[in-house]
Amino acid sequence: MADLRVNIAGLELVNPVLTASGTFGYGIEYQDFIDLSQLGGIIVKGTTLQPREGNPYPRMAETAQGMLNCVGLQNKGVDYFCKQIYPQIKDIKTNMIVNVSGNSPEDYAECAARINELDCIPAIELNISCPNVKHGGMAFGTTTEGASSVVKAVREAYGKTLIVKLSPNVTSVTDIALAVQDAGADAVSLINTLMGMAIDIEKRKRVLSIGTGGLSGPCIKPVALRMVYQVAHAVRVPVIGLGGISNAKDAIEFLLAGASAIEIGTANFLDPTVSVKVAKGIDEYLEKHGFKSVNEIVGLCE
Amino acid sequence: MRKYVLDLQVTSVEQPGERYLLLDATNPAGPLPEMNPGQFAQLRIDDNKDTFLRRPISLHHVDYEKNEVSFLVQKVGKGTASLWQKRPGSTLNAILPLGRGFTMPTSAEQKFLLVGGGVGIAPLLFMGEAMLKMGVRPTFLLGARSKSDLIRLDAYRALGEVYVTTEDGSEGEKGFVTQHSVLQREKFDNISVCGPKPMMMAMACYAKQVGTKCEVSLENMMACGLGACLCCVEDTKDGNVCVCKEGPVFDVEKLKW
């Protein structure tokens, strides 16, 4: 067996496979299917300072090799998370990472400060790229100034590993990546969903309740891979790649492109056991090609 | 209840009606897990370029002795249509059992009315069988557009009394289930409903008028089926809740209908 361990800005992962926020609940939804300790980490559902009801139904539309969603960050707020959810997940033997979102830099910072107090949460993933909320979310992630302002505010309030999740709905993702790096991010993860739309031709109406939604699934993988490659070649901080990864081959492509770790999202819906299969597949690839450690293949593709 | 991802093996494929498919499947790896009426499975749709996600299908019948689970599927879109390609021996990958099912009677004296419309009759067979095992005879009220959409009636008649309505009057009483005369004649302790939303809303309205407890099974579009993605939410008196996890069966008192 090859050495699958990776280190993301001080965060030790048993392997480079994490599960993406919004696709894996709080991890507990999947523990009937897999041993969660076999994952590098779990990024739990987006959490905000105040509770959010999210967007009305319908929130989902199936597409060719993917899906659109406009869930809109439904969650019961950081207080509920700390009091009710955290006790249920704190003993899960993997890195439990909280995805944090907000309406303003102050919101983000306060939410992050609350999570900073939780011993068993070693990192947060800052969501400056949700396309499904009116205020905040992607609004911060699409300009260098906006992204920088949120990351600076959170950096002051948060002492542990700070991952910033980037939006693909921008002209230059590397500019945003460099801005958040300069503002104090320890790592970046990309990509969040691509903004899309579906129309019901019989009703002659847009399918999703708010009209647009975020596209995910295998259909976005080439776009994600290109962006990960570009960002990995531009920044110093570690890059976590995601976007349509459905099997070990997809994951290895992202590692070769320069990602130090990867996240699996929508593929969890098709196969709840896919994440551990991907970790196993990466190991088999490394063995087959004589690599001793997964770190040897990170960024190996010129 | 513990959930499983299983590679089931199809043992029988029947077409009880033009637009309906009855799939029986066994679990070659071991005994099927315990399942409750009203729960569902997420069936994987293989090799279909037009669809992507699994399809939530209710549990129609479970035979623990034969180690078989059955699904009654209506051809609705391309996902369900591709299940028509299944043959005996085919693999049917399923995540099950999912969700919260129907409330079952707590004593043999309770009178339960099981109301189904169209393919919504599917979970009521499993429920009727489970009731009979408890010594409670179910009463069914089944509605369809016309006689050709009334499927597997014999299976329901083997369990209890069956009342029927069709919209065109080709079988049973003409009209909707809510207009059936049995509702004027008899009083029930509980009404369990599965069918098209307007029908369920009408039954819920009737149940409220007569003061009977009523549960309905919702079928909001789902992605994960596990309560992880929050796509299939219903706006209830407790806020947006996942139909796949808190439902699909809800007490109508919890809904904003």
Number of independent structural domains in chain B: 3
Q: Which residues of A touch B227 (CB under 8 A)?
A: 25, 29
CB contact A7 to B (< 8 Å): no
B228/B162 same-domain check = no
Structure-block tokens of residue A278: 């991907």
How far does the CA of residue A272 sit from the closest CA of chain B (Å)? 8
Determine contact: A59 vs chain B, CB below 8 A: yes
Averaged pLDDT for residues A84-94: 98
> DSSP 3-state assignment of B93?
strand
CATH code, domain carrying B107: 3.40.50.80
- Out of B62, B80, B98, pick the residue that ends a domain: B98
Q: Looking at A70, A82, A111, A130, which residue is catalytic?
A: A130
Q: B-chain residues within 8 Å CB-CB of A53?
A: 239-240
pLDDT at B46 (0 to 100): 86
Measured between beta carbons, which residues in chain B are less than 8 angstroms from residue A217? 52
Judged by CB atoms closer than 8 Å, whether chains meet at B229 and A23 is answered as yes
Q: Which of A32, A269, A273 sits opposite B223 (nearest CB)?
A: A269
Same domain, B59 and B145: no
Q: Do A57 and B232 touch (CB under 8 A)?
A: yes
Between chains, do B228 and A23 touch, taking CB under 8 Å as contact?
yes
How big is chain B by its Cα radius of gyration, in Å? Answer: 17
Query: Given this model, what pLDDT does residue B239 score?
Result: 96
Q: Are residues B197 and B169 in the same domain?
A: yes
Asked if the C-beta of A273 comes within 8 angstroms of chain B's C-beta atoms, the answer is yes
Contact state of A62 with B52 under an 8 Å Cβ cutoff:
yes
Q: Which of A27-41, A87-101, A132-146 has the lowest mean pLDDT?
A: A132-146
Of the candidates A32, A217, A270, the beta carbon closest to that of B54 is on A270
Residue of B nearest to A73 (CA): B230
B91 has which bridge partners?
A: B9
Sort out which chain B residues have CB atoms less than 8 A from A63's CB and list them. Answer: 52
Q: Do the bridges between strand A239-241 and strand A261-264 make them parallel or antiparallel, or are there none, so unpaired?
A: parallel
Side-chain-side CA neighbours of B141 within 13 Å: the count stands at 26
Instruction: Find the helix packing angle between A144-157 and A105-116, rounded to 10°.
Output: 30
Residue A268: list chain B partners with CB under 8 A: 224, 228
Q: Do A60 and B228 touch (CB under 8 A)?
A: no
Same domain flag for B204 and B143: yes
Taking the Cβ of residue A58 and every Cβ of chain B, the question of whether any pair is shorter than 8 Å is answered with yes
Same domain (yes/no): B118, B185: yes
Per-residue pLDDT, averaged over A156-184, amounts to 97
Q: Are residues B129 and B165 in the same domain?
A: yes
In this structure, are B130 and B170 located in the same domain?
Answer: yes
What distance in Å separates residue B135's CA from the closest CA in chain A? Answer: 33
Find all residues with CB under 8 Å of A115, minimum gap 6, and list them.
A47, A78, A81, A82, A98, A100, A121, A124, A158
Q: Which of B227, B232, B239 sits opposite A29 (nearest CB)?
A: B227
H runs (alpha helix) in chain A:
77-80, 86-89, 105-116, 138-141, 144-157, 173-182, 221-232, 248-257, 267-270, 274-288
In angstroms, what separates the C-alpha of A271 from chain B's closest C-alpha?
Answer: 8
Tell me if residue A130 is catalytic.
yes
Q: Are residues B108 and B201 in the same domain?
A: yes
Asked if pLDDT for residue A131 goes beyond 90, the answer is no
| CA of B129 vs chain A CAs: smallest distance (Å) | 28
Read off the tokens for B166. 């069709």
- Distance (Å, whole) CA B61 – CA B11: 14
pLDDT exceeds 70 at position A136:
no
* Closest partner CB to B52 (pick from A59, A66, A74): A66
Specify the pLDDT at position A139: 80
Average pLDDT, chain A: 96
| pLDDT band, residue A244 (cuts 50/70/90) | very high
- In this structure, the number of other CB atoms found within 10 A of the CB of residue B109 comes to 8
**Window 213-232 of A, Cβ < 8 Å to B:** 217
Asked whether the beta carbons of residue A57 and residue B220 sit closer than 8 angstroms, the reply is: yes
B207 plus B256 within the same structural domain: no
Residues of B in contact with A22 (CB under 8 A): 229-230
Name chain A contacts of B43, Cβ cutoff 8 Å: none
Does residue B137 sit in the same domain as residue B155?
A: yes
**Chain A: closest CA distance from residue B6 (Å):** 10
CATH topology for A6-297?
Answer: TIM Barrel (3.20.20)
Question: Closest by alpha carbon to B245, among A7, A32, A150, A115?
Answer: A32
Mutation site, B45, B80, B229, interface A, largest A CB count within 10 A: B229
Q: What is the distance in angstroms between the Cα of A149 and the nearest Cα belonging to chain B?
A: 29
Distance of CA A180 to CAs A113, A151, A185, B115, B137, Å?
18, 6, 6, 57, 66
A202 contact B CB<8A:
no
Q: Which of A133-142, A184-193, B76-85 has the highest mean pLDDT?
A: A184-193
Collect the ranges in chain B with pLDDT lower than 50: none
Q: In angstroms, rounded to a whole number, what is the distance separating the alpha carbons of residues B17 and B98?
A: 27
Tens digits of residue pLDDT in B181-220: 999 999 999 999 999 999 999 999 999 999 999 999 999 9
Q: Which domain holds residue B66?
A: 4-98
| Chain B nearest CA to A255, separation (Å) | 25
φ, ψ (nearest 5 deg) of residue A231:
-70, -40
Picking from A22, A54, A67, the nearest residue to B52 by CB comes out as A67
CATH code, B237? 2.10.240.10
